Amino acid sequence: MLRGAVEGAVITGVRRRGKYILLDLSRRPSIAVHLGMSGSLLLSVAPLDSPHLRAAFHFAGGGRLNFVDPRTFGTLFPLAGEIPRGFRSLGAEPLSSSFTAAELEGLLSHRRAPVKALLLRQDLVAGIGNIYAGETLFRARISPFRAGGDLSRAEVRRLHRAMRAVLREAIGEMGTTLSDFRRPDGEPGKFANRLHVYGRAGKPCPRCGTPVERATQHGRSTFFCPRCQLPPGRG
């Protein structure tokens, strides 16, 4: 099915929707790629020798675009026919000019779930993963355990600014490589060099020097500064 969707087509553009990479094709439906937890799209001249190669796009002029996915959590599909629910239900784009602090406030309003869990919900705000949620909350000085609906308007504005800043910086550094992820040229993403709390349990907070702590929320690691991100009334 995928071969028929792409054979003979020209890639006319590359976009993003949430965590999905969209390859726009001439006169064909776009192809959506989700890298999962360990995937990469890698350019090569010769066939890529990898046991984790899941798909390869062959270019008429030579070269290939390879989808490599060691842990097989990624996915690749044309935006035609039966589209996966996860793609259809994607929420607001955090870097869109139309995504305002007021819209974020509306999404969080009256919700009792922890704000970090809400940031990870792709049907609310699309594209934020565990690393960027934690870094966003640190920059905004908000505890990851606060209920989303309890945030004040000023806190939501800080959260909105921090979210967009973190994502823009991460894109500028070509992503975050902690283990498997690679840029198309095979080089690692360098945002890992700018992480303030993620993966830094026991190390000093870059803002106040207090050791960063680690907790588990919904099966995911949460890193935070217990001093900078104190809930109201606990300082």
Same domain? 168 vs 112 = yes
Measured CA to CA, the distance from residue 30 to residue 81 in angstroms comes to 12
Tokens representing 97? 């000019």
Return the H-helix or E-strand segment holding 25: strand 20-25
What is the per-residue pLDDT across 99-144, written as a single tens digit (0 to 9) for each?
Answer: 999 999 999 999 999 999 999 999 999 999 999 999 999 999 999 9
The residue out of 36, 61, 88 marking a domain boundary is 88
> In this structure, are residues 25 and 7 in contact, taking their beta carbons and an 8 Å threshold?
no
Q: Is the dihedral of CA 97, 177, 142, 207 positive or negative?
A: negative
Same domain? 145 vs 79 = no
- Residue 167 domain boundaries: 101-224
| 211 is a domain residue | yes
Q: pLDDT band at 235, cuts 50/70/90?
A: very low
Predicted TM-score (pTM) of this structure:
0.91
The residue out of 60, 88, 116 marking a domain boundary is 88
Q: Report residue 77: phi and psi, to 5°.
A: -160, 155
Same domain? 209 vs 178 = yes
Provide the number of structural domains found in the chain. 2
What is the per-residue pLDDT across 153-173, written as a single tens digit (0 to 9) for each?
Answer: 999 999 999 999 999 999 898
Measured CA to CA, the distance from residue 198 to residue 167 in angstroms comes to 15
Return the H-helix or E-strand segment holding 136: helix 130-139
Percent of the chain predicted with pLDDT > 90: 76
Residue 112, judged by CB atoms within 10 A of its CB (0-12, 13-18, 19+), counts as: exposed
- Tell me the CA distances in angstroms from 85 to 72, 89, 93, 189, 203, one per residue in order: 19, 6, 17, 29, 40
